[in-house]
Chain A
Amino acid sequence: MRESTIMKIHYGTALAAVALVAVHILMRMTMNFADSLEYETVLANYKFIPYAIMLELILVLLSIHGFNGLRVILLELKQGRMYEKAVSYGCLAAMFGLIAYGSRTIIMTNMGMV
């Protein structure tokens, strides 16, 4: 993929994540902070499908943005063909791993398996 395409995705995910995290924070402000962290409240959030979809989107957006940011930092630290390939594929694998693990939590909770 061209670097400009990757960076467009990088900037796009940042903007979208800021918007969705703002919504997430506003939703948390409907009750006091301690109550919003209650076990039952968190489960209820995951079971409310629109909210669960939004959390999943935040997870995907932040994973893409964060791991690409990490890739960029690592590419600037050291150069070399093998190293750069390892960093790119490593970050991609870590990103998919994190998304899969987070999605598993959201899906299992949503389906009442927790």
Chain B
Amino acid sequence: MAQVSSIADDQSSKSITLRIARYNPEKDSERQFMEFTVPYEKWTTVLEAILDVKKHFDHSVAVRYSCRQATCGSCGMIINGKPRLACFTKISELDSNIVTVEPMNNFPIIRDLAVKFERLFDTHHKIKPYLDRDDTELESDAKEFLQSPEELEQYIQFANCIKCGLCNSACPTMATDSSFVGPQALAQAYRYVADSRDKGKDSRLKIIDDSHGIWRCHFAGSCSQVCPKGVDPAMGIQLLRGYMLGFRS
């Protein structure tokens, strides 16, 4: 089904070949690539190139996106073999005349570049991604839960997670273990365990302490390499292990 189409743009001097993976699990037996020649400027992102294709050639290309500024975590995909956010990846920085976009690994495909996030959201929900304590600030004489800057530093890096799923896509354990909690959920478990306001450490550690939990991480570190927000899930997992082995309390 390879197809070559080009967008006429006299003003632009540079163009790339954009290869888009096309696959509809209800109809197709295997993934195929469609090729488009797309003009770009040094600020053009991969998402903009895909939207150009949708606008000028084939509006049926399925892609999930929203904010276009690396905040919503919707446009994760494999770009030239590496999980990245399409809105956060400029074509000029890829240093290649051919840009190949595919759906994220380790996620079921809905169609083309759009994948199902159920597993990610389920595991995220499973680790209780909220402050867990019996008392609340709604009590009559209670005030806000104050934190020192040092206490904030313990977890703030991990609070930057936008649930884009790139870490899960890059994780080699996720590829073979369909029950693995995954780096995203584990990093978020650490985010709340390390929060001085949270009182749910024991229950949270118990949740991830099973045969497909934290111990199945082999510290490949690929999750941290691909994180667009600098969350470093691999470090979070190792710090979390420190709690479980009794090195941290």
Contacts and interface: CB of A to CB of B under 8 A. Distances in A.
B245 A76 contact: no
A72 B217 CA distance: 11
B178 A4 contact: no
A61 to B, nearest CB: 19
Contact of A75 (B209, B212, B244, B245): B212
Given A8-B245, A72-B216, A76-B216, A3 B178 contact: no
Interface string A54-65: 000000000000
Interface string A1-41: 01110111001000000000000000000000000000000
Interface class of chain A by DSSP: helix
Nearest to B213: A3
B130 to A, nearest CB: 24
Residues of A in contact with B, size category: 10 to 19
Contact of A76 (B176, B209, B210): B176
Nearest to A71: B211
Contact of B209 (A2, A77, A79, A84): A2
Interface of B: 173, 176-180, 209-213, 215-216, 244-245
6 closest residue pairs by CB, A with B: A76-B177, A4-B244, A4-B209, A79-B179, A7-B215, A76-B176
